[in-house]
Amino acid sequence: MSGYFTDIKDGIWTVLVGMTITWKHMFVKKVTIQYPDVKRELPDRVRNRLYVNMDDCIGCDQCAKACPVNCITIETLKALPTDDLGSTSTGNKKRLWMPVFDIDIAKCCYCGLCVFPCPTECIEMTDVFEFSEYHRKDLVYHFGTMTPEEITVKRAEVEEYQREQDAKKAAAAAAAAAAKKAEADAAAAAKASEAANIPPDTTAPVS
């Protein structure tokens, strides 16, 4: 019988301990945040929507390589010698045009792995968490600063420059091959002439 009442006492005590926090809140003034007019202050280093400062981006592609879900798409074009793209705020000289820098935030898992490899610290996670959309395509953020017309023109310029460089390399290779062949022919001719001027060997025995 004593065990029966002991079990009852333990059960009541367990309920009392478990309801302690609930009872405390019964006598505390209720606080309701009037969202969205009132919002809580988010903690530091919160992980939400990504932002890219294209003025500091050098197109190194490190963020895209670190992304585990492949939500970052980057396309670059090599700048011509006549192009001056300026420098980043950290002093890095920019050598690449970036026609495409897209982030599909619908795929993002908010791991933050893309932030740390960036040498110029141009990509970061912001405190913006209200970005729901009706269509998935609207969750793809385009950070590229070039217009489609500028991309077309720049690609044509780069291709033309590459063709010129390839032609120069081919011409240089052909000239080098011709010079090498001429040198080999001259050496062969000198050797033949030297062989023609050698007198016969009179000390050889006659059979």
What are 168-198's pLDDT values in tens digits?
898 888 888 888 888 888 888 777 777 776 6
- Reported as a single tens digit per residue, the pLDDT across 66-98 is 999 999 999 999 888 888 888 888 888 899 999
Predicted pLDDT of residue 199: 60
Question: Helix or strand or coil: residue 131?
Answer: coil
8-state DSSP, 37? T
Domain ranges of the chain: 50-146, 147-184
- Reported as a single tens digit per residue, the pLDDT across 108-159 is 999 999 999 999 999 999 989 999 899 999 999 999 989 999 999 998 998 8
Residue 86 sits at the vertex; the CA angle it makes with 80 and 88, to the nearest 5 degrees, is 125
CATH class of 50-146: alpha beta
Question: Helix or strand or coil: residue 205?
Answer: coil
